[in-house]
A and B are shown apart, each in its own frame.
Chain A
Amino acid sequence: MSFPWAADYAPKHPLMRYLDEKLPLPRLVYNAVGAGYPVPRNLNYFWNFGVLAGVALVIQIITGIVLAMHYRADAGIAFNSVEHIMRDVNAGWFLRYTHATGASMFFIVLYTHIFRGLYYGSYKPPREVVWLLGVVIFLLTMATAFMGYVLPWGQMSFWGAQVITGFFSAIPLVGDGIRVWLLGGYAPDAAALNRFFSLHYLLPFVILGAVILHIWALHIPGSNNPTGVEVKGPQDTVPFHPYYTAKDGFGLGVFLIVFAALMFFAPNYLGHPDNYIAANPLSTPAHIVPEWYFLPFYAILKSFTSNFLWVPAKLWGVLAMFSSILLMFFLPWLDRSPVRSANYRPVYKWFFWVLVVDVLILGYCGGAHPSNKIVVISQLCTMYYFAHFLLILPLVSLLERPLPLPNSISESVLHGEAQEAAPYGVATAPVAAPAE
């Protein structure tokens, strides 16, 4: 793991030496997030978001375990048990609002993390596996978030469960059977609620496992950086601790301030008032939309309105929605450009921002009433979304002429002045000499 110049763990205290022989846990920590892990010296604040996603996951797990001590997964009393948490349980409102706001904060961080990866080419070799594991984590998080949203058993919970499990009924021949099997009935009810609760409790720990693999796979090549240029020598890196523990600590402080502001002052801003009405299987709310973090995908689902090539519109929508995420698994092989960072890819850089805008418009359309105009806009944006990955990326990587890359990270940091490329204190290190 890591670079040859990584500092070696050398415990001084006899007790720590003893522990190192028997259970080298401090060594693992030292080599993973301590002084023994060299990290490119030029990471910007977008590199905070991996740590922030980890913190968001931990916040969700802790508040979730505590909420599960008071929540009851029974269709008859689930809704009231959530109100019980809000009104009767000591600090229950704090715990529930933290969990609910925490889900939104988790996705804000996750999307920033994903788009950071897209901009700086973090999905390219040698980090493909890191990216693939990230997509797995994203899918698991979406599933967990959906099942968590069902648990309060309000109107949006119930009809969300109805609609999302309805996706599976689009599968030809066996679809309806699969849906009934998933729900354990013909509509969401006690059986569905109970199994969603069970899985909602299980999946975060599966995510945690996938996160450990994600970090493990990352620590083999080491972090990407804003130039996308490989680390070439010790002058290009600084130890994780104290440099990035401090930088991540600062980012964490900012993150928690935003989190607290949203949680204390607008805890329901990102939710739907309809979910404070108990589930009613006989009446669908007038305007049913998923949580904001699913809206772009919901727009893709809704943009297929007519049958095409003997395939029903319903199946097209579901296939397109799932493909829009599964596409990410192929990204490292769709973008063939050897240059990682969009800072040195003048054409890709434009298309990246167009994609960001495209996804934002999709998000808006996903939340809007499906008027004719909105449907046409979502159709165009859906088309563009798929074109970006399947046509534009392969073509751009063929045709684009990238800008000259800096010789090394330290040169780029020091504006190309080669003599200054070796930082203070390691002047004897070889300047810009490839270490490979």
Chain B
Amino acid sequence: MAQAPVETVEAMAQEPELRRRDFINIGAVAFAGVGAVAVVAPLVLQMAPSADVLAEATTEVDLSKIMPGQAIKAVYRKSPLFVRHLTPDEINKANAVPLGELRDPESLAQRTKPGKSEWLITMGVCTHLGCVPLGAGEGETRGEFGGYFCPCHGSTYDTAARIRKGPAPKNLQVPDYVFRTDTTIEVGAKA
């Protein structure tokens, strides 16, 4: 702190350790600090998704037209969503893999809804660096494990969209979704 020239040594000697003025000073600066934090809050919060973005945060998908073996791409939260109708063969292949061999161990049952294990709903966002993997579109390669293949850095996913090879750390993310009827799902809904 800067010294004030009007204060002499004698004057200082008469002062108690903690003066009234020190208390006011600390109180005022502390209060200003609280105010500053209160002002920073809206400046930070405004960057979070606004109400209109959150309002579009669920997507309905009609499953009735998707044949076994087929997949479609939908959009959920402005990101690609893969909706895939697994064949019994693909289900068997997924269930045959011992969980201990997997980088991100999850069974097909954990990644689908009970009794609906033919419907594999995942985000179409590679967990490595966010590219869209191939395999959901007509005629696209599905990689050596028959699931998805990311062309950016070669991550390869199996028929449960679990990471099997390449740099990605995690399985393709399964979003929250609910079966509204036997043939429609609402993605983003929790119940």
Contact = CB atoms under 8 A, between A and B. Distances in A.
Q: Do A and B bind each other?
A: yes
Interface string B127-160: 0000000000000000000000000000000000
B29 to A, nearest CB: 9
Given A84-B50, A89-B50, A90-B48, A234 B5 contact: yes
B181 interface: no
Given A90-B50, A249-B28, A238 B6 contact: yes
A249 B32 CA distance: 10
B4 A239 contact: yes
Contacts of B52: 84, 88
A95 B46 contact: yes
A425 B5 contact: yes
Given A84-B50, A88-B51, A425-B7, A241 B45 contact: no
A66 B52 CA distance: 18
A35 interface: yes
B26 interface: no
Contacts of A256: 35
Contacts of A126: none
Contact of B46 (A91, A234, A246): A91
B114 interface: no
Contacts of B41: 91
A87 interface: yes
B42 A91 contact: yes
Given A69-B46, A90-B42, A242 B4 contact: yes
B13 interface: no
Interface in A254-300: 256
Interface residues of B, number: 24
B120 to A, nearest CB: 34
Nearest to A92: B46
Interface string A72-113: 000000000000100111111011000000000000000000
Interface string A225-256: 00000000010001101110010010001001
Residue of B2, B43, B45, B47 ringed by the most chain A CB atoms within 10 A: B2
A424 B46 contact: no
B6 A66 contact: no
Nearest to A256: B35
A66 B2 contact: no
Contacts of B28: 249, 253
Contacts of B18: none
A89 B2 contact: no
A69 B11 CA distance: 55
B53 to A, nearest CB: 8
B50 A88 contact: yes
B8 interface: yes
Nearest to A245: B2
Nearest to A250: B28
Given A234-B5, A239-B5, A242-B2, 12 more contacts: A69-B46, A84-B50, A90-B50, A91-B41, A92-B46, A95-B46, A243-B4, A246-B25, A249-B28, A253-B32, A424-B6, A424-B8
Contacts of A35: 2-3
Nearest to B42: A91
Contact of B8 (A88, A91, A246, A425): A425
Given A84-B52, A249-B28, A89 B6 contact: no
Interface string B1-30: 111111110010000000000000100100
Contacts of B43: 62, 66, 91, 95
B6 A426 contact: yes
Interface string B46-89: 11101111000000000000000000000000000000000000
B1 to A, nearest CB: 7
A412 to B, nearest CB: 18
Contact of B45 (A34, A84, A90, A243): A90
A66 B3 contact: no
A34 B50 contact: no
Given A62-B43, A425-B11, A92 B50 contact: yes
A70 interface: yes
Residue of B3, B28, B46 ringed by the most chain A CB atoms within 10 A: B46
A91 B4 contact: no
A22 to B, nearest CB: 23
B100 to A, nearest CB: 45
Contact of B47 (A69, A84, A253): A69
Residue of A34, A62, A66, A425 ringed by the most chain B CB atoms within 10 A: A425
A423 interface: yes
A146 B28 CA distance: 37
A380 interface: no
Contacts of A66: 43, 46
A7 interface: yes
Contacts of A239: 2, 4-5
B172 to A, nearest CB: 30
Given A424-B6, A425-B8, A89 B46 contact: yes
B54 to A, nearest CB: 9
A256 B34 CA distance: 14
B188 to A, nearest CB: 18
Contacts of A246: 25
20 contacts: A66-B46, A84-B52, A87-B51, A88-B51, A89-B46, A89-B51, A90-B46, A91-B45, A92-B46, A95-B42, A95-B43, A234-B5, A238-B5, A243-B4, A249-B28, A249-B32, A253-B28, A424-B8, A425-B11, A426-B5
